[in-house]
């Protein structure tokens, strides 16, 4: 019997790797890093065989010539290795990944794209680096389009999470499955709506997203400069509210937002919360436990870590 044994939501930022020494809120940074370690220990204790790793793509694996809403990696998975994150082949649970790709079409009506040679970036490899360090697990990578509108609605993401949960639990094999949602909380990136760039920097970014499939490294120096020059735009009040929802098993309330409303309140980077929402739905919205929340303006992002443990929920229900 296949079980879903743990869920983890965690923010990511490559600036944690590349600009640690320039980070002036060191106390906050260290609390966030320690929370990643605590979540990693919780994953180790849960003894998963496979991790469904849900993340975004920052135009290193997908380009404006083709942007699926959802893509499952079913065979090879290559990490791009930018900014000190892991590089190269990642282990994939091919049997479960192929099963999910088929089951979602045949059972749930989700025509999810698949890739037999998926390239992931720090949207997922940041989690590999910090949450799966030293763990012997295979992955089922799931990439969600959160940056190239039109984006999948939050409601559709929540329903996809529930559909994947049903498919995982019906898998005829025997797995202990954990789920990671990797993405930022509130933040605003200096990234344009590709359909309407304004100014030289935005036109450069859209050009990089269009032409970078074979040569994305050529664009990275200037892209990095644009990102580093951006001013932080965080909304800690929104982040606190979302994390309180997660702790109360109510992350589904995020579906009350439209894509435009979410950007207005929490920034374009908060569209990555789709990964947390999918993770929570896969855990059937079990109540969560916050391990950290730290607003990090020098990383441009609200940095949070939380775990959802269905075993603790079941124990609480038995005692009540």
Question: Which residues are known catalytic residues?
Answer: 122, 187
Rounded CA separation 287/180 (Å): 15
Do 159 and 83 touch, CB atoms closer than 8 A? no
Class of residue 95 by CB neighbours under 10 A (exposed 0-12, middle 13-18, buried 19+): middle
Rounded CA separation 254/277 (Å): 8
For the beta carbon of residue 220, count every other beta carbon within 10 angstroms.
14
Rounded CA separation 169/97 (Å): 13
Tokens of 65: 């010539």
Alpha-helical runs (H) found in the chain: 15-18, 26-46, 94-103, 122-130, 154-169, 199-211, 217-228, 236-247, 259-266, 273-282, 310-319
Do 149 and 104 touch, CB atoms closer than 8 A? no
Smallest CA-to-CA distance from 57 within 216, 214, 272, 227 is with 272
């Amino acid at each position: 019997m296949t079980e879903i044994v743990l869920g983890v939501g965690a923010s990511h930022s490559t600036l944690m790797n590349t600009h640690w020494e320039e980070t002036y809120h060191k106390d906050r940074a260290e609390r966030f890093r320690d929370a990643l370690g605590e979540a990693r220990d919780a994953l180790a204790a849960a003894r998963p065989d496979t991790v469904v790793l849900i993340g975004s793509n920052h135009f290193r694996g997908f380009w404006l010539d083709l942007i699926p809403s959802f893509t499952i990696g079913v065979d090879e998975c290559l990490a791009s290795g930018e900014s000190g994150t892991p590089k190269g082949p990642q282990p994939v649970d091919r049997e479960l990944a192929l099963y999910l790709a088929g089951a979602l079409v045949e059972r749930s009506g989700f025509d999810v794209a698949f890739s037999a040679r998926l390239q992931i970036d720090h949207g997922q490899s940041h989690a590999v680096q910090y949450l799966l360090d030293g763990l012997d697990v295979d992955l089922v990578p799931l990439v969600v389009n959160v940056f190239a509108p039109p984006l999948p609605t939050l409601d559709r993401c929540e329903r996809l999470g529930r559909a994947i949960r049903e498919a995982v639990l019906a898998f005829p094999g025997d797995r202990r499955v954990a789920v990671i949602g990797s993405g930022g909380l509130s933040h605003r990136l200096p990234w344009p709506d590709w359909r309407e760039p304004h100014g030289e920097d935005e036109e450069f970014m859209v050009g990089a997203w269009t032409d970078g499939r074979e040569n994305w490294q050529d664009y990275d120096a200037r892209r990095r400069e644009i990102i580093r020059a951006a001013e932080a735009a965080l909304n800690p009040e929104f982040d606190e509210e979302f994390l309180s929802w997660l702790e109360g098993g109510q992350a589904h309330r995020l579906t009350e937002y439209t894509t435009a409303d979410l950007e207005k309140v929490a920034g374009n980077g908060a569209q990555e919360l789709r990964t947390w929402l999918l993770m929570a739905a896969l855990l059937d919205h079990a109540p969560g436990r916050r391990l950290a929340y730290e607003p990090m303006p020098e990383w441009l992002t609200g940095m949070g870590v939380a775990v959802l443990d269905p075993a603790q929920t079941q124990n609480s229900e038995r005692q009540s």
